[in-house]
Structure 1
Amino acid sequence: MTQWEYLTAPLIVHSTKAILDNFGEEGWELVQVVPGPGGNGLVAYLKRPKQG
């Protein structure tokens, strides 16, 4: 069974693609993007398989 590790990261609106591309290169898969606390900015939720 695959085990996962998770990451939450703030996203800067004008650099969203570059930020997500960098995480993708490290093996992270985007799961969801939600508004940040108090409606400020965005927060990305990512996952990748745990290295065993």
Structure 2
Amino acid sequence: MTTWEYATIPLITHMTKAILDQWGADGWELVQVVPGPGDGLVAYLKRPTNA
């Protein structure tokens, strides 16, 4: 059975692609983006653990 670890990260609007590309290169998969505080966005990511 696959187990997962999760991360929640703030996204800077003018750097969204660069931020997500970096996390993706580290093995993270984007699950969802939701409105954050103010005008910001928050991304939820997951990746399988090595368990």
What's the TM-score, normalizing by structure 2? Answer: 0.94
2:39 match: 40
Query: How high is the sequence identity, in percent, across the aligned residues?
Result: 75
Runs of at least 5 residues in structure 1 that lack an aligned partner in the other structure: none
RMSD: 0.9
Distance in 2 separating the partners of 1:36 and 1:29: 19
Runs of at least 5 residues in structure 2 that lack an aligned partner in the other structure: none
Q: Aligned residue pairs: how many? A: 51
2:7 match: 7
Distance in 1 separating the partners of 2:39 and 2:5: 25
Query: Counterpart of 2:50 in 1: which secondary structure?
Result: coil
Indicate the structure with greater helix content. Answer: 1
Q: Which amino acid is 2:44 matched to?
A: Y
Q: Which amino acid is 1:13 matched to?
A: T
